[in-house]
Amino acid sequence: MANTRRIGVLTGGGDCPGLNAVIRAVTKTAMHQYKLEVFGIEDGFLGLIQNRLRPLAWNDVSNILTQGGTILGTSNQANPERFAIERGGKTEWVNVTDRVVDHVRANELDAIVCIGGDGTMTGAANLIANGINCIGVPKTIDNDLEGCERTFGFDTAVHTAAECFDKIHTTAMSHHRVMVVEVMGRNAGWLALHTGVASGADIILIPEIPYDLEVIAEVLRRRSKSGKRFSIMCVSEGAKPKGGDVVVQRRVETSPDPIRLGGIANKLVADIEEATKLDARATVLGHIQRGGSPTPADRVLATQFGHHALEILMRGAQGQLVVQQNGRLAEVPIQSVAGKQRKVALDDPLVLTARAVGTCFGDS
C-alpha cells in the first residue's frame, strides 16, 4: 500500500454500457479513500503505445455513472505485442511492448487498472510478464470471460436486445413471417441464450450447439400447420450448421482478432425459405447492443468491480482480475484467463429450462 501513489486506468476492446461507472468507481475510490493520483489512458493500449495519458480530477468522473460508452475512448486494434505500422506502403507488425513499458515508467505509474474482455486481459498479461502490475476488471456484453460468471454490460445488452425482439414480435404476427434476429456474442452463446429465453423465441441457435437445417425447417413447418402463423428465431452471430462453419462478414488484418462474424441471419433466411416456402426476414441488431445507458444492475456491478479493484490493489495484489463467482466478488490471476473464453455448457440450467418449455436449439 505504501508503494502505490499513482495509477493509470484504461478501457480496451469494444465499448459497452458500464465502462464509465467503473472509471468513476476506480478514480473516486483511489482519490477519496487512498489519496492516489489517477491518470486516464486514452484509447486503451493505443494510449500507452503513443504515450497519451491525462490526469483525472474528481469532477472529470462526476456525473458519468449513467453514461454509455467510455470517456477515455477505446481501441480493439492496439496489441503491443503485434502492433500494425505502415512502412514502404505495406503493413508490418512489430512488438512495441518495450515502448509501452518505457511510457509507464516515465509517467511513474505504479499500477494500471485494465477494464476489458479477453483481448484486453491478454494484453494485460503481456505487461505483467514485463514487470507492470495490472489489475483487471471484466467487461464484455458477450459474458464470455473465463472465471467470471457475470460481466458488466451483459445485462444491458440483453435488455436492449429483448426490447428489440418485443417490437419484432408484433410485426412477425402482423405479416405471418419467420423472423430471424441475429445478436452478437462471437463464439459464445450467452447473449443469444438469455435474449432468446427472455423474448420467448421459438428457436435459439448458439455456437456451442451446431444446428441441423432440416430440424429447424420441420419445427417451422409444424408450427405453421398447427395454426402458428409466425415464428421468432434468436441467432448468435457465431452459430453454424453441423459440419459447417461460421459466416464471416469481413477480416480486419490490423486487429488482434481479425475475424468479424456476421451474416448468419441472412444465410438462414435464404435456407429457410427454400426449405419451407415460408416467408422469412432477417434483422441484425449489431452495435445497438453495445450502446445506451447501463441498466441499474450493470451500474451496481460496475461500481462494485471498480471499488474491489482498488481494494485488492491496495492490499498488495499483483496481476489479478476481479471476478464474480457464486454471486460474490473474488479475484483470479489475469494470466490464468488470458486468451480463454467461457462458453455455454450443453447442460447449462438455462439451456435445460428452454428445452423443457419447448424451445428448439436446432439439434433435435
Domain boundaries, the chain: 6-152+294-336, 155-290
The predicted pLDDT at position 252 comes to 63
Examine the pLDDT at 113 and tell me if it is beyond 70.
yes
Pick the CATH number of 6-152+294-336 from 3.40.50.970, 3.40.50.450, 3.40.50.720, 3.40.50.800: 3.40.50.450
pLDDT tens, position by position, 35-55: 999 999 999 999 999 999 999
- The per-residue DSSP string of 33-70 comes to HH--EEEEETTTHHHHHHT-EEE--GGGGTT-TT--S-
In the chain, DSSP finds a helix count (H) and a strand count (E) of 10, 15
Distance between first and last Cα of the chain: 56
pLDDT at residue 257 in the model = 66
Question: DSSP letter at 326?
Answer: T
d(CA 95, CA 100): 10
The percent of residues above 90 in pLDDT, for the chain, comes to 77
pLDDT digits (tens, 9 = 90+) for 126-175: 999 999 999 999 999 999 999 999 999 999 999 999 999 999 998 888 87
CATH topology match: 6-152+294-336 vs 155-290: yes
Q: What pLDDT score was predicted for residue 135? A: 97
Please identify which of the residues 15, 118, 142, 202 carries the catalytic annotation: 142
H-helix or E-strand containing 101?
A: helix 97-106
CB 53 within 8 A of CB 47: yes
Does domain 155-290 correspond to CATH entry 3.40.50.1450? no
* CB 45 within 8 Å of CB 79: yes
Instruction: State residue 249's pLDDT score.
Output: 72
**pTM for this structure?**
0.92
C-alpha cell at 276: 419451407
What pLDDT score does 44 carry? Answer: 95
Q: Is the pLDDT of residue 85 over 90?
A: no
182-214 pLDDT, tens digit per residue, is: 999 989 999 999 999 999 999 999 999 999 999
Average pLDDT, the chain: 92
Amino acid at the residue 139: K
- Cα 73 to Cα 111, 151, 312, distances in angstroms: 19, 19, 25
pLDDT at 254: 60
At residue 89, the pLDDT reads 82
At residue 45, φ and ψ (nearest 5 deg) are -65, -20
Look up residue 248 and give its three cell numbers: 464471416
**What is the band of 305 on the pLDDT scale with cuts at 50, 70, 90?**
very high
Instruction: Please give the pLDDT value at position 13.
Output: 86
250 has a pLDDT exceeding 80: no
142 catalytic per annotation? yes
**Predicted pLDDT at 2:** 52
For residue 234, name the pLDDT band (cuts at 50, 70, 90): very high
Residue 282: which H helix or E strand, with range?
Answer: strand 280-284
Under the banding of pLDDT at 50, 70 and 90, the label for residue 82 is confident
**pLDDT tens, position by position, 308-348:** 999 999 999 999 999 999 989 999 999 998 888 899 999 99
C-alpha span between 296 and 283 (Å, rounded)? 27
